[in-house]
Amino acid sequence: MRRVGIFLLVTTVVSIVLFGVVGRAVEESVITGSFVQLNGQLASFSEEEWKTELGYMKAIGMDTVVVQYSAYGNRYYYPSRYAVETSGPGQDESINELVWKGTARARYVKIEIKPTSVEWTMLAEVSVSKNGEIVSSGKPYTISPNPDPKYPDKDGVKLTDGSANWSWNDMVGWSNPVKPITVVLDFGESTAFNSVAVKFMRSEISNVQLPAGGFSVFISNDGESFMPAGGVAWEDSPEEMGANAIGNILSAADELGMDVFVGLSLNPDYWSGKFDAREEAAMNQKIMTELHKLYGSHASFVGWYLPEELDDRNFNSAEAKKAVKTYLKNMAMYARLYTKKPVMASPYFGMNPNGPAYAEWWREILSEAKIDIIAMQDGVGCHRTTAAESAAVLRALRPVLKEYSVQLWANVEVFDQTHGWPVDDLGWKATSASMDRVSEQLRLESPYVDKIIIFDFTSYMSPRLGGVARELYEGYEAYLSRR
């Protein structure tokens, strides 16, 4: 049975309360949901693939999915009238595939990439095909120059193993490469093919960029003398439109009896401090209307997520707080009146947090702009705070949110940031956290919240990813078995 109760108070504002009574903390230190951060790979998942992924979540007790974005900049994760077809370098925070097409036959195929990344060039997979059938799977290859020790290819299998997950551990990477990167495949015998594809990672926040000039293909029968076969650049490969990741997630969640909060759109300029409250509210109200018309009938669709990650550091002036109030009030009122669905935000607090001061910041915001759920980022994975510091903030925040009938959830970070501020000055990178650290977060934060969700299962905890993500999943299974 779906654990969602909706109580409507006929006043100027409709108050919606989810998952029981506001003010009752969770009784167990367990994870009950997760964010899903869509990227190019996840956006291409079918409904069946999402059933498998969400099935992993449900198997360990999760009942709630929060989709971080339905649109990010020009990238839409559903068929939207507002989407604009683009060409050139592929989508950010995604695995992007570049394909050369041409007829050739050879024993050896050399792929030469001219990197242009400021910091990193990352390869996920290389495939050579004949009429759609991959002929390079499991074939040996050599790469030059040697990749960075942090992202090696020790066994020489990563690039032809058929796997291209959005996971740092699944990549082969080069830091500040100067010379061209070459991959030479050996088929063992002369083999016909008519396409060569390379999957690259792009993450501007981590300074991982695509090679602007694409790649060139060379062929040889002796492995020494190569002749050019052709090449391809990004402008030759326009982005495909019409992905329906949102619909596939909701359909999968319908079958599994899970709840989904659908994230709205985020302008990437937000991360640079550019935020026009009225302009962003107007755009997201259009997105909300469109999403509600497309997917409002799904039983799993229970609420909205506002993807702006608000904080008390960047929104502390009178003008900035006014912008926050304007945006939250406009979005919450529109959601309640038009869709009858609650609104969630997932804010964060700065380093060395002052719990009472932060709680007062939210008291001022909520007095004029009430939303329904605050899923508080704990900041532990980013090394901004400790679990104990986060728990102290939650303890101070809880009575204020109870006063305004707002649910308080914990957004537990299950990653361990390895690069980027405040760790160092490099591009942002992270790996899966240890189960020991996650269990401490759950133990210390659970007494003060109504629900615990994580950021994020699909990037750091899914067994689909293997490696440390699978270790965290299995560690949590063992944690549950001991309870």
The predicted-structure confidence for 213-238, as pLDDT tens digits, reads as follows 889 999 999 999 999 888 888 765 54
Range of the domain at 188: 94-236
Tell whether 120 is covered by a domain: yes
Enclosing H/E stretch for 34:
strand 33-36
Residues 363 and 469 occupy one common structural domain: yes
Enclosing H/E stretch for 439:
helix 435-445
pLDDT tens, position by position, 350-372 = 878 999 999 999 999 999 999 99
Tell whether 15 is covered by a domain: no
Using DSSP, state whether 303 is helix, strand or coil.
strand
Are 63 and 3 in contact, with CB atoms under 8 Å apart?
yes
Tell whether 360 is covered by a domain: yes
Q: β-strands 407-413, 227-232: how paired?
A: unpaired
Which residues are paired to 196 by β-bridges?
100, 128
Are 427 and 203 in contact, with CB atoms under 8 Å apart?
yes
CA distance 80 to 460: 29
Are 183 and 215 in contact, with CB atoms under 8 Å apart?
no
Those residues with Cβ within 8 angstroms of residue 352's Cβ, 6 or more apart along the chain or in another chain: 389
For residue 291, pLDDT over 90 is answered with yes
Q: What does residue 412 show for φ and ψ, rounded to 5 degrees?
A: -85, 125
Residues 160 and 66 occupy one common structural domain: no
Rg from Cα positions in the chain = 24
Closest CA to 340 of 352, 332, 329, 349: 332
pLDDT tens, position by position, 456-471 = 999 999 999 999 999 9
Enclosing H/E stretch for 432:
strand 429-432
pLDDT tens, position by position, 304-330 = 999 999 988 888 889 999 999 999 999
Tell whether 37 is covered by a domain: yes
Q: Compute CA 94 distance to the chain's CA centroid, rounded to the nearest angstrom.
A: 9
Tell me which of 236, 261, 277 is where a domain ends.
236
pTM here is: 0.77
Residues 62 and 170 occupy one common structural domain: no
Residues 74 and 122 occupy one common structural domain: no
Tell me which of 236, 255, 282 is where a domain ends.
236
